[in-house]
Amino acid sequence: MEKKAIRVAYGESLVRLGAENSSVVVLDADLAEATMTKGFKQAYPERFFDCGIAEANMVDMAAGMSTMGLIPFCSTFAVFAGRSYDQIRNGVCYPGFNVKFGFSHAGITLGEDGGSHQAIEDLALMRVLPNMTVFAPSDANECWMCVKAASEINGPVYIRTSRLPSPVYDPDPHFQVGKGRVLMDGSDCVIMTCGIMLEHCLNAVEILKGQGKNPALLVFHTLKPFDDELALAYAQKCSNVFTVEEHSVIGGLGDTVAPVLCGKGSFVFRKIGIQDVFGQSGKPADLLREYHLNGEEIARTVLESMRG
């Protein structure tokens, strides 16, 4: 199966979008080679702005551009969302300006750069902001759909992308902002995931089937607004509910699902993710195993936690 890093797909999507919409501009914080905005820079140099290592300034520039009818996409590493958080909060989300954030190298699969650069809190930071739409695409095709949708939303949007190449799946013909997708139906447990963890959840599903289980698998490209209806329906159907994310279990997908289920039934509910610790330097495969996020570890956690 073809593999492509979502950050690469993000860069390609910007070039494609730039050809369709002359109002699209791209800003980067001296990381165009890594965030893959370099393609847009080459194609549309007059619409590309390298802001240097000054993320807060980049966000303020984008906010101003948005008031002139432009559609700015800001790009940097996801961990640097913290550097510009005040500007994102008060300069973009508070007035509801039309600025997009395509932040890359999220999660522990960034690898050898270590815990200082592995963003495990970015989804929590962005979800809590009023007016912000939050995307976590799971592959290259979904990334394009999220970028295209972001350009059509009148307001702030966050798109989380990853460094590690991941499988490219068939595109969702029914893609819709705020709606999840049923990849596999099942009856005795449901795994809900987002981003590049989809590959590992698919592996976990095959292991679980080999153990005689009948798991359902849901993937959510949009964490805000969230598909409450789909999550609740499968929780009530399967009773055993597991969320899997390459993010802290505080404030991410698990904490998006939890309030949806609260008071709506009796469930086994387990958040599989980064358990309130920082990342560390290592090969992505080794880190996924260490943090219990590869297929084998996910399946083991599900089997140990299931009721009935």
**What pLDDT, on the 0 to 100 scale, is given for residue 261?**
97
Active site (catalytic) residues: 55
Total residues found in the chain within this entry: 308
User: Low-confidence residues of the chain, pLDDT below 70?
Assistant: none
Query: Are 254 and 220 spatial neighbours (Cβ–Cβ below 8 Å)?
Result: no
* Same domain for 78 and 46: yes
Q: Give residues with Cβ within 8 angstroms of 229, minimum separation 6.
A: none
**What pLDDT, on the 0 to 100 scale, is given for residue 157?**
98
* Same domain for 70 and 31: yes
155-164 pLDDT, tens per residue?
999 999 999 9
* Amino acid in the structure at residue 49: F
CA angle 67–70–72, rounded 5-degree value: 100
Q: Could you tell me the residue range of the domain that residue 157 belongs to?
A: 3-167
**What average pLDDT does the chain have?**
97
Residue 154 forms part of a structural domain: yes
What is the spatial distance between Cα 98 and Cα 85, in angstroms, rounded to a whole number? Answer: 16
User: Strand 3-5 vs strand 165-167: parallel, antiparallel, or unpaired?
Assistant: antiparallel
**What pLDDT, on the 0 to 100 scale, is given for residue 217?**
98
* Same domain for 232 and 130: no
**What pLDDT, on the 0 to 100 scale, is given for residue 286?**
97
Report the largest interatomic distance among the alpha carbons of the chain, rounded to a whole angstrom.
Answer: 61
* Same domain for 35 and 151: yes
Residue 175 forms part of a structural domain: no
**What pLDDT, on the 0 to 100 scale, is given for residue 189?**
98
Residue 212 forms part of a structural domain: yes
Where would I find the beta strands (DSSP E) of 78-124? Answer: 100-104
What is the spatial distance between Cα 13 and Cα 234, in angstroms, rounded to a whole number? Answer: 32
* Same domain for 206 and 141: no
Residue 106 forms part of a structural domain: yes
**What pLDDT, on the 0 to 100 scale, is given for residue 115?**
95
**What pLDDT, on the 0 to 100 scale, is given for residue 293?**
98
What is the spatial distance between Cα 16 and Cα 11, in angstroms, rounded to a whole number? Answer: 9
Domain boundary (136, 167, 198) is at 167
**What pLDDT, on the 0 to 100 scale, is given for residue 1?**
80
Residue 176 forms part of a structural domain: no
Domain boundary (108, 141, 167) is at 167
Q: How many folded domains does the chain comprise?
A: 2
Residue 88 forms part of a structural domain: yes
* Same domain for 23 and 135: yes
Query: Are 141 and 170 spatial neighbours (Cβ–Cβ below 8 Å)?
Result: yes
* Same domain for 249 and 102: no
Domain boundary (140, 167, 194) is at 167
Residue 174 forms part of a structural domain: no
Residue 87 forms part of a structural domain: yes
* Same domain for 131 and 270: no
Question: Residue 158's domain is classified under what CATH number?
Answer: 3.40.50.970
Note the Cα 208 to chain centre separation in Å.
25
